[in-house]
Chain A
Amino acid sequence: MTMPADTLPQTRTVRVLSAMERYALYTMVFSLPLQGLAIVPGTTFTVTKVLGGLIVLLCVVRRILGREFPFVRTGIESGVALFALAALASLPHSIAPASSWAAASTLAQYLLLFYAVADIARNAAVHACVPGLYILAAAISGLGAVDAYFLGHIPATADTVVQHSHIRRIAVGMQDPNHQALLFLFAVAFLLFQERVWRRWPSFVLSAFALSSVLAGLVLTMSRASWGVFVVLVLARIAVAKRRMAWLVATGVVVLCGGLVCALMLPGVVDTAKRRALELGRGGDASAASRIWHYASVMERAEKSGPFGHGLDTAHIAIASLEDPLGERPAVTVHNAPLLLWLETGWFGLICYGWLWSCIWAALITAWLETRDNPTKRDTLRPYFAVLSTYAAVSLVMPFVYYSGFPVLLGCLIGATRAAPAARRAIASSME
């Protein structure tokens, strides 16, 4: 049985290493929504990348010093092992071996990072800090986007105009507005589903301000898929609330008042957002087209990719010859993570990917059921349900596979699930 790290007898060295790990984890979590700005001076390395390596190193050293196996048990080993097998199996037949090996190396790094974070995140104190840090960073990113859009003091890391509709998309933090929108959604998930951030008045005010900033940033990314997921998150929050009517009324009031203020003060932004939303229904919208007719063509190609696919990170090559009904070749990648992995790792990879997800859900649900007597732990786990659901939903319309934020947040999630039953056992033993 694995005990939580903070209950083990610790030497001074181990405690120092543990503190360094937590500092690195907090820095990495805080840097996630600001990755494009958090770069080590004089290099092109992001803080996330550098500290990811540091965390793995520190964690392995600490565990070896503590005479433990270098990697913690996570409960999802079978899913991880099978998916790793599928990724490796796709390599020999890769249509672009260099890209595939580079992608495999990236996934291996993510795997090590996940295990290290999962170990650190078994410490309950980590979960008192991670959501707050992440929300704060996302709020800063949202405020930065507002400044970049209206004032221009802060340079946007992504500032593009959608061709034909002249809609401007802004992000401060990531170089892809869709990616930034996903990170904003994670912050929304933490804000909506963690009750303790709203409990006291100072926290309430700060959380309301952070939510406003994050929503402003989310609007300015002009990511329609993320807007849709945001609406679903709000509806889900209302559905799971104990006082649904109060939540419903509060949501209605906020939407009405916020909408009215925006319509009066920022009619241009409201008009732009409206046009962006309506674009989806237009046949000429390249973005929507890439997610509809593209799926059918890519599925046909994936079916022919055999059990092991075309190789990791080869989707853009595998579909390069696809033509739309007008005979043009759209320069877009596959906007669907499972489909993309099906194409790259074949049906074996797709099955393994499905199994990995089922392992993650099983770990989360099991931890949830085991903590029915512990509302504090449930309050820790609840936002991770939302984060995981958000990532799953966005994965269906976006190509975010090789993305470092996911192993970090997944590590936190698994860490939370592994900490939860131990805490419950501690409560039970104390009652005995």
Chain B
Amino acid sequence: MMFSDRALAIAAAITVLVLASVQIAGHRDRGGVLPEVRALQALVTQGDMDKATALSQELLLRHPYYRPLHFSTARVMAARGFASSTLEHLVLATAPDPTPSASLEVAALDACPPPEKRGPLPHPSDVRAILEDITARYPDDVASPVGQYRVERLSRFMQPAQRKPEDFLRRITDVPVQQNAHPTSASEYAAVGFVLDIPSGAVRQQDPDGIHTRALLEALGTTETRTPSCATASTSQTYLTVVASGQSPYSLAAQEQTLVGPAGSGWWFVAVAGEDQRVAAQSRFCFPDLGDSEPAFREWVDNLPRSSMIVGCASGGAVSGMSNGSRDMLRQMFGLQRIPAAETRLSYAFAACLQSTADTVEATALASDLPAVLVLEPGA
């Protein structure tokens, strides 16, 4: 025989392995974008926006923080003329990775998904092109307080060396602040500092009257709510804020103290002792289907002092990924009514008393790129 079959088979195997190696090397060169997102990118390039919209919504449920997906979705939204959604997805597409040292390592008490790959960042010039297009076509949307907040985040990505978030803060004045508002509390400064990634001291220094601070919080949909009764026995002068957003670390601020929670997936729960408002315990749960989450969570709660206030917060991805059974359990245990639907990918925070669900308070983010900020004013 002219060619032995063994030689042909070896040649065939080598051919495929070489091609696969080329493909893997090319994948690294392309920054490792997921194949399904490449399919979306192809649809966007072809201009098939109907299919691209449907595919992007489907993919966002599976990869809520995947940056190339958000960038492609932003392009789709820009093409369809949705300025606010374009900015929302651009912010998520350019979100930086949280600094590991900035967040607490809180071990989850149930099974959590693996840390999601967030993919490569888009090129700043691509982001700038979309932003300029949107600004030219929809100046009012971009000039709104939320629009300004988003543009600030994008500017920080495009021109990191030239940005001073404090300067941005002073530009936020368009929101009508409540006339009888109280003096801005330390925890509100902390919350804004957390939202803008700057120290709360810098916020206070730039905005001693607190006008801009409260304006920004109101722009993000935050309204003050009364602290649940269990936490106010001896802390009537303490404000407390909770911030949950995307893949950034969660935070809890009380007076000058800020507790930074874990970044990434899962719910973060903090039990605040009623007597002195110190953190009595904290934990993280991801609530997968068929895990041992529900008995483990009930056991954790049962071991807390009965007079505690429990504060919980979750990113949009954590809310989307939890099981329906766990969602019902939390609703029943704490009287929660505003846990966002899975497909909304909205962050969420609540504070509730263990003894009673009568005065549970909740906060939901206005959009998937915005934080849920819960500001608790002291009780009477």
The chain A residues found within 8 Å of chain B, CB to CB, are: 12, 15-16, 19, 22-23, 26-27, 29-31, 34, 36-41, 47, 125-126, 128-129, 132-133, 136-137, 140, 154-155, 157-161, 163-168, 175, 271-272, 275, 278-279, 282, 284-285, 331
Contact = CB atoms under 8 A, between A and B. Distances in A.
B324 A166 contact: no
B277 to A, nearest CB: 33
A272 B19 CA distance: 33
B51 interface: no
A168 B19 contact: no
Interface residues of B, number: 46
Interface in B3-53: 3, 5-6, 8-9, 11-13, 15-17, 19-20, 22-24, 26-28, 32, 34-36
Contacts of B34: 159
Contact of B62 (A22, A39, A161, A279): A161
Contacts of B142: none
Most buried by A among B1, B5, B11: B5
B274 interface: no
A27 B12 contact: yes
Contacts of B114: 161, 168
Contacts of B290: 165, 275, 278-279, 282
B209 interface: no
Contacts of B13: 26, 30, 133, 136-137
B19 A47 contact: yes
B321 interface: yes
Most buried by B among A27, A160, A284: A27
Most buried by A among B22, B32, B320: B22
B19 A132 contact: no
Enumerate the 9 nearest inter-chain pairs by beta-carbon distance, A residue then B residue, closest first.
A26-B12, A165-B289, A166-B113, A27-B12, A37-B20, A19-B3, A166-B288, A129-B9, A125-B5
B322 interface: yes
B111 A272 contact: yes
A164 B321 contact: yes
Contacts of B1: 15, 125
Contacts of B36: 175
Interface string B299-334: 000000000000000000000111111000000000
Contact of A47 (B16, B24, B324): B16
B40 to A, nearest CB: 13
Nearest to A128: B5
A271 B111 contact: yes
Contacts of A34: 16, 20
Given A129-B9, A137-B16, A165-B323, A37 B286 contact: no
Contacts of A279: 289-290
B8 A26 contact: yes
A47 B288 CA distance: 39
Nearest to B19: A38
B125 to A, nearest CB: 25
Contacts of A163: 61-62, 320-321, 342
Contacts, number: 130
A337 to B, nearest CB: 23
Nearest to B286: A166
A40 B23 CA distance: 9
Given A16-B2, A23-B8, A163-B62, 13 more contacts: A19-B8, A22-B3, A23-B3, A27-B12, A34-B20, A159-B117, A161-B321, A163-B320, A168-B114, A175-B35, A275-B290, A275-B291, A284-B325
B111 A129 contact: no
Most buried by B among A26, A39, A275: A26
A116 to B, nearest CB: 16
B275 interface: no
Given A165-B323, A166-B286, A26 B23 contact: no
A278 B291 CA distance: 10
Contacts of B342: 163
A331 B58 contact: yes
A331 to B, nearest CB: 7
Interface string B62-90: 10000000000000000000000000000
Given A133-B9, A165-B289, A168-B114, A155 B32 contact: yes
Given A38-B23, A158-B35, A175-B36, A30 B16 contact: yes
Most buried by A among B9, B19, B112: B9
B24 A129 contact: no
B27 A155 contact: yes
A164 B112 contact: no
Contacts of A129: 5-6, 8-9
28 contacts: A12-B2, A15-B1, A15-B2, A22-B5, A23-B11, A23-B12, A26-B9, A26-B11, A29-B12, A30-B15, A41-B26, A47-B15, A125-B5, A157-B35, A158-B35, A161-B113, A161-B321, A164-B323, A165-B289, A166-B113, A166-B288, A275-B111, A275-B289, A275-B291, A282-B289, A284-B323, A284-B325, A331-B58
A41 B30 CA distance: 14
A144 to B, nearest CB: 9
A27 B111 contact: no
A22 B111 contact: no
Contact of A160 (B17, B32, B62): B62
A56 B19 CA distance: 22
B321 A166 contact: yes
A41 B322 contact: no
Contacts of A128: 5
A7 B110 CA distance: 65
Contacts of B6: 129
A39 B23 CA distance: 7
A284 B62 contact: no
A197 to B, nearest CB: 14
A308 B26 CA distance: 45
A126 B32 CA distance: 37
Most buried by A among B1, B16, B24: B16
A37 B61 contact: no
Contacts of A159: 34, 117
A202 to B, nearest CB: 15
Nearest to A149: B114
B111 A164 contact: no
Nearest to A140: B17
A163 B321 CA distance: 6
Contacts of B20: 34, 37-38
A161 B64 CA distance: 11
Nearest to A32: B16
